[in-house]
Amino acid sequence: MRWSKYFIPTLREDPSEAEIISHKFLLRAGMIRKVSSGIYNFLPLGFKALKKIENVVRNEMNKAGALEILMPLVQPAELWKETERWDIYGKELLRFKDRKEHEFCLGPTHEEVVTDIVRRDIKSYKELPLILYQIAVKFRDEIRPRFGLMRAREFIMKDAYSFDANWEGLEKSYQLMYETYEKIFRNCGLRFKAVEAHTGAIGGDISHEFMVIAETGEDVLALCENCDYASNVELTPAISGEKYPLESEKPLEKVYTPGVKTAQEVAEFLGLPLSKITKTLIYIIDEKEPIAVCIRGDHEVNELKLEKLFKGKSFRMATEEEVERIVGAKPGFIGPKELKIKIIADKSLVGYPNFVIGANENEYHYVNANLGLSFEPDLIEDVRKACKGDLCPKCGNFLTFIRGIEVGHIFKLGIKYSEPMKALFLDKDGQMKPFIMGCYGIGVSRVLAATIEQNYDENGIIFPWQIAPFQVSIVYLKENFKEIAENLYQNLLKNWDVILDDRPERPGVKFKDIDLIGVPLQIIIGKTYEEKKQIEIKIRKTQERKCLALEKIEDFIKEFSNEI
């Protein structure tokens, strides 16, 4: 591609709407433009990057024997009512009526539609296993669309669905998709990790998330470097590796703590470590029953663990007013002693001597509280997020914590959809049975954002070679090098995605733009060519510069790409 014939509206300044790295660079590199909240245009460069990712995904899915189809975005309510998701699914499911007042939704996912396909046209176990997939537009009416492509409302997803005759079959399909996902993300040139995950709105028993490792990731992963344990921290049992000191219980003492509210403030005021302070949080279950959760000040509540404890009932944090009405004191001064509601204490408080609790009286705390002595919880449970210092639930080694961005998620669905939708096949034994299903998603447009979150520097994007929209750029610094540049361009085009920067711009502008859009190998025909007939190649990632004879360029690129 010649830059002069292309359309890459780069921006010098950081756009104010951009909250995170990938959003900023996607806008600045002229790859996307906002149409509405969470809705974007993909401009030519963004589209090209998207297609590269799509092709990696398609390639591996096809190799795995999955068959590509295309299902509609606009889906009739009837199908969603069969699984009751029409009522269960939250407001992310955008519902509307057509001109004839029939109910429809924009598909956020396609379990119902694909199950309908299979129940109509697959009759026998002989036709199984079957994996169908599509790469298509999805819509989720997110309450807070943000971070550009990271949490968009309209986005591109690859969703696949497996149908098997039995659970062993599902196990195989799941394993096949797991391995396919590993290949996909490897072939995208990304550092990633598969972790055990929560199944959420899609359902099923077991699921794995594929996480692109990035410091800016929203998710935290707990990994064991000793064994293969890896899970989303949401799911990690918190097993403390900390040995509490043997310390005799001191007498409980009420202390005046004016104006200090957060655990951190209390710790500073009392001159104690944060771990010695506890927080007592009030939740309201099912909009009626209040409940107190008491954990260490340096720990965080894991709401997914609460959800399991409350058996899926709805719950939320109490408002400040509710806390005052229930306890008689303001948030920040709440504690488990003499509290008239149900109390859950986190496991980590067991054996922990002489800690601080709120006094349920404004401006007061107790010091030297002890579980069982100062108060008696109704339940002692693991309700916190695992964190540094915790142990691997499999091997007992210390866990490592890193941040990641979810780009793929695979689920064992079993009969969650096939049973209510009566999607049945005739099995070997002559019985009609529901298909055993799995489903497998990749956020294709999200992979683009995650790629950037993992691969950038202050000058812009550093695209991995495998999915770079342009792998090689050519800049010539004098008009009389134009012909050499042209010939080289034509030559390299045969094997690679090349952009020839033929704009009538200053070299500085070109170099900046090329760095910004993340071209991995940058060829410059300038000073070194004039002086010693050598072409300069800059490696975007390492900033290394090589000087090579013209005829060595192709070999260099081949070698560079082979090493990746």
- Which residues of the chain form contacts with a copy of itself (CB under 8 A)? 5-7, 9, 30, 33, 35-37, 39-44, 47-48, 50, 65, 67-76, 79, 91, 94, 96-99, 102, 104, 106, 113, 116-117, 120-122, 127, 130, 132, 136-137, 139, 141, 143, 153-154
Tokens 């939740």 sit on residue: 283
Tell me whether residue 133 or residue 463 sits nearer to a copy of itself (CB atom).
133
Q: How far is the CB of 24 from a copy of itself (least distance, A)?
A: 17
Give the span between the Cα atoms of 292 and 360, in whole angstroms.
12
Give the distance from CA 256 to its chain's centroid: 44
Tell me whether residue 39 or residue 432 sits nearer to a copy of itself (CB atom).
39
Tell me whether residue 71 or residue 239 sits nearer to a copy of itself (CB atom).
71
Q: How far is the CB of 126 from a copy of itself (least distance, A)?
A: 9
Q: How far is the CB of 156 from a copy of itself (least distance, A)?
A: 8
Tell me whether residue 43 or residue 413 sits nearer to a copy of itself (CB atom).
43
H/E stretch holding 472 reads strand 472-476
DSSP codes of every residue in 213-236: E-TT-SEEEEEESSSS-EEETTT-
Give the span between the Cα atoms of 462 and 542, in whole angstroms.
10
Cβ atoms within 10 Å, residue 486: 15
Q: What is each CA distance from 174 to 126, 179, 298, in whole angstroms?
A: 19, 9, 38
Tell me whether residue 96 or residue 167 sits nearer to a copy of itself (CB atom).
96
Q: Going by C-beta distance under 8 Å and a sequence separation of 6 or more, which residues neighbour residue 177?
A: 64, 131, 160, 162, 410, 438, 440
Tokens 């007042």 sit on residue: 101
Q: How far is the CB of 9 from a copy of itself (least distance, A)?
A: 4
DSSP assignment letter at 46: H
On the 0-12 / 13-18 / 19+ scale of CB atoms within 10 A, 428 is: exposed
Tell me whether residue 184 or residue 448 sits nearer to a copy of itself (CB atom).
448
Tell me whether residue 136 or residue 402 sits nearer to a copy of itself (CB atom).
136
Q: How far is the CB of 148 from a copy of itself (least distance, A)?
A: 14
Q: How far is the CB of 443 from a copy of itself (least distance, A)?
A: 15
Q: How far is the CB of 47 from a copy of itself (least distance, A)?
A: 5
Q: How far is the CB of 155 from a copy of itself (least distance, A)?
A: 10
Sheet hosting strand 278-285, strand order edge to edge: 315-317, 278-285, 289-296, 342-346, 379-381
Q: How far is the CB of 54 from a copy of itself (least distance, A)?
A: 11
Residue 364: both structure tokens together: 């007061």
Tell me whether residue 115 or residue 236 sits nearer to a copy of itself (CB atom).
115
Residue 157: name the closest of 439, 408, 469 by CA.
408
Side-chain half-sphere exposure of 74, counting CA atoms within 13 A: 6
Tell me whether residue 9 or residue 273 sits nearer to a copy of itself (CB atom).
9
Q: How many residues does the chain have?
A: 564
SS3 380: strand
DSSP assignment letter at 480: G
Tell me whether residue 40 or residue 147 sits nearer to a copy of itself (CB atom).
40
Q: How far is the CB of 89 from a copy of itself (least distance, A)?
A: 12
Give the span between the Cα atoms of 473 and 518, in whole angstroms.
10
Asked if residue 46 lies in contact with residue 6, where contact means CB atoms within 8 angstroms, the answer is: no
